[in-house]
């Protein structure tokens, strides 16, 4: 690693998680060790299904979330959501030590912080304590704390979206 990258993928447009997954594939192609930690998610999307079938020892995948929060489909209390986010942070701290990845993807961490499920400062602490791994932080509404320490920020801007034309989410494209 020449310089450690702290990247934020934010904005309301499509492409944040898929871009992180693409970078995981890129990093694996170079033989890097990758930790993918998903906040808030609980279902096996196409990409998680596929990544798991790889059984690649250089890739560790952890999901610690309960899905939709305070919108249609939410089936958990706020306390439960917070419990899963707190667990995710603990697992992050553990894996940074034991697995020692060279790329760490914290998927939906921006959303989890902006909704108050976990504290951005705690995440920043973990990032700063571990300078030997790149970080990718995805999700809408990236908090200021992340923007300050990041050296790469891309905002995915929605210009056109099929949902607005009444087209529903489809397997293989949206999840």
CB of 136 to its own copies, least distance (A): 9
User: Smallest distance, Å, CB 111 to its own copies?
Assistant: 17
Question: Measured between alpha carbons, how far is 23 from 29 in angstroms, rounded to an integer?
Answer: 10
The nearer residue to its own copies, 127 or 150, going by C-beta atoms, is 150
Token look-up 């697992």 returns: 91
Indicate which single residue of 61, 96, 103, 127 sits in contact with its own copies (rule: CB under 8 A): 103
User: Which class for 98: exposed (0-12), middle (13-18), buried (19 or more C-beta within 10 A)?
Assistant: exposed
Q: Interaction with its own copies in 13-32: which residues (CB under 8 A)? A: 13-30, 32
CA torsion sign, 32 to 24 to 144 to 100? Answer: negative
7 vs 115 by CB, closer to its own copies: 7
The CA angle 167-137-38, to the nearest 5 degrees, is: 70
Place of tokens 């030590």: 97
Q: Note the residues at the interface with its own copies (CB under 8 A).
A: 1-3, 5, 7-9, 11, 13-30, 32, 45-51, 53, 102-103, 134, 147, 150-162, 165, 167-168, 170-173, 175
């Amino acid at each position: 690693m020449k310089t450690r990258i702290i990247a934020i993928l934010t904005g309301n447009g499509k492409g944040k998680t898929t871009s992180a997954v693409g970078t995981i594939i890129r990093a694996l192609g170079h033989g890097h060790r990758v930790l993918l930690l998903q906040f808030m998610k609980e279902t096996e999307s196409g990409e998680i299904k596929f990544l798991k079938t790889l059984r690649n020892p250089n890739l560790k995948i952890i999901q610690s979330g309960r899905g939709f929060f305070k919108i249609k489909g939410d089936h958990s209390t706020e306390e439960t959501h917070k419990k899963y986010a707190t667990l995710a942070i603990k697992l992050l701290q553990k894996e940074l030590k034991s697995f020692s990845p060279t790329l760490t993807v914290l998927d939906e961490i921006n959303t989890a912080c902006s909704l108050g499920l976990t504290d951005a400062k705690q995440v920043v602490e973990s990032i700063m304590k571990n300078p030997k791994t790149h970080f990718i932080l995805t999700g809408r509404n990236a908090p200021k704390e992340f923007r300050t320490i990041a050296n790469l920020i891309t905002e995915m801007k929605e210009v056109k979206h099929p949902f607005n034309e009444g087209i529903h989410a489809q397997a293989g494209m949206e999840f």
